[in-house]
Amino acid sequence: MESGAVAYVRQHKAKGLGHAVWCARRLIGDEPVAVLLPDDVIAAETPCLQQMVEAYEETGGNMVAAMEVPVAKASSYGILDVKEDHGSMVSVKGMVEKPAEGTAPSNLAVIGRYILSPNVLDNLDTTQAGAGGEIQLTDAIAKQINSSEGVYGYRFRGQRFDCGSKAGFLQATVSFGLARDDLRDELSQYLQEIALTQQAAE
Ligand code: G1P
């Protein structure tokens, strides 16, 4: 594809994230691909995917962004079972999508940035519905764990907002607003005012 060109495919049925990526297989072709889930918004000095590309130059294989989450929230995520922990980088010996409460192998969660080998796309051809009855990208990645290419988690530097939730979306909006010189003063004054009004009403 020409650089700067945009192409899209529609996923006609909501059959899961793995199925959505599979729908784009002909656009991707036979090379590594980055997947970004736009409801995971990440504020970072160096963009999260750029951090991962730099780390990937060392490891190759497959890489997912990773972040510790509260244990009670683990069942909302793909969760990594860590083989070796090297700080920002971990190697992975297992991964499970939305583990049932109390069964998560850790609290290290997959966040929506991935660098995937063409083998993961091939795996999606045969990946059956998993958690929630959906075809899960996590399951297709997990099939590469024992291959020569392997799977790595990358603890990125930055703040992640879960814009799949209304509160997370609002937090991201406020946080990005406060980070801007042209908005900070007016926005923080407004926030202080409504916080005081709220307190007075309680
Ligand atoms: C998706 C992935 C999950 C990942 C999460 C991160 O789940 O399937 O592995 O942990 O994104 O936001 P979703 O949030 O779409 O249910």
* Ligand 1: centre distance to CA 150 (Å): 20
Contact between 59 and 177 (Cβ < 8 Å): no
Domain boundaries, the chain: 17-163, 165-202
Which protein residue has the closest C-alpha to ligand 1 atom 7? 77
Torsion of CA 50, 9, 145, 155, to 10 degrees: 30
Query: What CATH topology corresponds to 17-163?
Result: Spore Coat Polysaccharide Biosynthesis Protein SpsA; Chain A (3.90.550)
In ligand 1, which atom is closest to the CA atom of 112?
Answer: 6
Task: In the chain, count H helices and then E strands.
Answer: 7, 8
| Probe residue for ligand 1, chosen from 37, 79, 116, 124 as the CB with the greatest number of ligand atoms within 8 Å | 37
How do the pLDDT tens digits run along the chain, 202 residues long? 567 899 999 999 999 999 999 999 999 989 999 999 999 999 999 999 999 999 999 999 999 999 999 999 999 999 999 999 999 999 999 999 999 999 999 999 999 999 999 999 999 999 999 999 999 999 999 999 999 999 999 999 999 999 999 999 999 999 999 999 999 999 999 999 999 999 898 8
Q: Where is 119: in which H helix or E strand?
A: helix 118-124
Q: What is the pTM of this model?
A: 0.94
Phi, psi (rounded to 5 degrees) for 43 = -90, 125
